[in-house]
Amino acid sequence: MTTILLACDDDDLIAEIDAALVDRDTQVAVVRAGRDVLGAVGEVDPDLVLLDLQIGNMGGMATCRNLRLEAGAGRIDDQRIVLLLDRDADAFLAESAEADAHLVKPLDSLGLQHVVAELLAPT
């Protein structure tokens, strides 16, 4: 079973991602605040983390950097991270936060599925 951790506080976006990704072999765990992501990583051991750039109290960029720092310190396993951006011009934020990939909202479900499959493919 593949587990994807989604950090998002937008119900419509959560439903869209759930519809695009959930099947019999994939589940999506949702947290609604960036500060909850680190704890959720320990609880659900996700295969991939999706971070909305505009989540409350600790945005996607700060959350991504936090996960990278925690992995670098050896406190968690390295995570595959996709940042969900608001506009193309925010791509530099994903790069500076060391995200593995980024997508610009509104999401294209096939594009989302492709990025997820690419990041989860065995190397």
> Could you list the mean pLDDT of each consecutive 10-residue stretch along the chain, which spans 123 residues?
97 96 94 97 98 92 97 97 96 95 96 97 85
Q: At what angle do helices 11-21 and 109-120 cross, to 10 degrees?
A: 60
Q: What is the structure's pLDDT at 56?
A: 80
Q: What is the structure's pLDDT at 75?
A: 97
pTM of the predicted model, to two decimals?
Answer: 0.96
Q: What is the structure's pLDDT at 123?
A: 74
Q: Please, what are the domains in the chain?
A: 2-120 (3.40.50.2300)
C-alpha closest to that of 93 among 73, 49, 63, 56 = 63
Of the CA atoms within 13 Å of residue 15, those in its CB half-sphere come to 3
Q: What is the structure's pLDDT at 91?
A: 94
